[in-house]
Chains A and B, each alone.
Chain A
Amino acid sequence: MATETLTLGKALNTGLRKALENDPKVVIMGEDVGKLGGVFRITDGLQKDFGDQRVIDTPLAESGIIGTAVGLAIRGFRPVCEIQFDGFVYPAYDQIVSQVAKMHYRSQGKVRIPMVIRIPYGGGIGAVEHHSESPEAYFAHTAGLKVVTCANPQDAYTMIQQAIASDDPIVFLEPKRRYWEKGPVELDAPLSEAYPLHSARVARAGTDATVLAYGPMVRTCLDAATAAAEDGRELEVIDLRTLSPLDLTAAYESVKRTGRCVVVHEAPGNLGLGSEIAARITEECFYSLESPVLRVTGFDTPYPASRVEEEYLPDLDRVLDAVDRTFGW
Chain B
Amino acid sequence: MAKGDPGVTTRGRRAAPRSKRPATAGEPELVQLLTPEGERIESAIGPDGTEYRVDFTDEEYRGLYRDLVLVRKLDAEATALQRQGELGLWASLLGQEAAQVGSGRALRTQDMAFPTYREHGVLYCRGIDPIMPLGLFRGVDQGGWDPNEFKFNMYTIVIGAQTLHATGYAMGVHMDGKTGTEDGEAVIAYFGDGATSQGDVNEAFVWASVFNAPLVFFCQNNQYAISEPLERQTRVPLYQRAGGFGFPGVRVDGNDVLASYAVTRHALDNARLGQGPSLIEAYTYRMGAHTTSDDPTRYRIASEVEAWRAKDPIARMKAFLEKQQLADADFFAAVDEQARAESVHLRERVLAMPNPEPVTMFDHVYPNGSPELDEQRAQFSKYMESFEGSAH
Residues of A within 8 A of B (CB): 24, 27, 31-32, 34-37, 39, 52-53, 56-64, 68, 71-72, 75, 77, 87-88, 90-91, 126-131, 270, 299-302, 304-309, 311-312, 317-318, 321
Contact = CB atoms under 8 A, between A and B. Distances in A.
Contacts of A64: 197, 199
Contacts of A301: 361-362, 365, 373
A91 B355 contact: no
B66 to A, nearest CB: 30
B300 to A, nearest CB: 9
Given A56-B7, A60-B198, A307 B355 contact: yes
Interface in B272-300: 293-295, 298-299
Interface string B148-166: 0000000001110000000
A127 B141 contact: no
Contacts, number: 134
A309 B293 CA distance: 20
B227 A35 contact: yes
Contact of B361 (A27, A63, A299): A299
Given A24-B12, A129-B142, 18 more contacts: A31-B225, A34-B227, A35-B298, A39-B293, A58-B232, A59-B232, A60-B198, A88-B159, A91-B200, A128-B137, A131-B157, A300-B365, A305-B356, A306-B88, A308-B358, A311-B361, A312-B361, A317-B387
B157 A300 contact: no
B28 interface: no
Interface of B: 1, 6-8, 12, 14, 19, 88-89, 117, 135-142, 157-159, 194-195, 197-200, 225-228, 232-233, 293-295, 298-299, 355-356, 358, 360-362, 365, 372-373, 376, 380, 383-384, 387, 392
Given A27-B7, A53-B12, A126 B88 contact: yes
Contacts of B142: 129, 305
Given A56-B7, A128-B139, A308 B355 contact: yes
B361 A304 contact: yes
B223 to A, nearest CB: 13
B361 A61 contact: no
Contacts of A61: 197-199
A60 B7 contact: no
Nearest to A303: B361
B1 A60 contact: no
Q: Which of A32, A60, A321 has the most CB of B within 10 A?
A: A60
B151 to A, nearest CB: 22
Given A301-B362, A301-B365, A317-B392, A56 B6 contact: yes
B88 A128 contact: yes
Contact of A91 (B199, B228, B387): B199
Contacts of A31: 225-226, 228
A131 B159 CA distance: 13
Contacts of B14: 53
Nearest to A126: B88
A201 to B, nearest CB: 31
Contacts of A39: 226, 293-294
B364 to A, nearest CB: 9
A322 B232 CA distance: 50
A109 B295 CA distance: 45
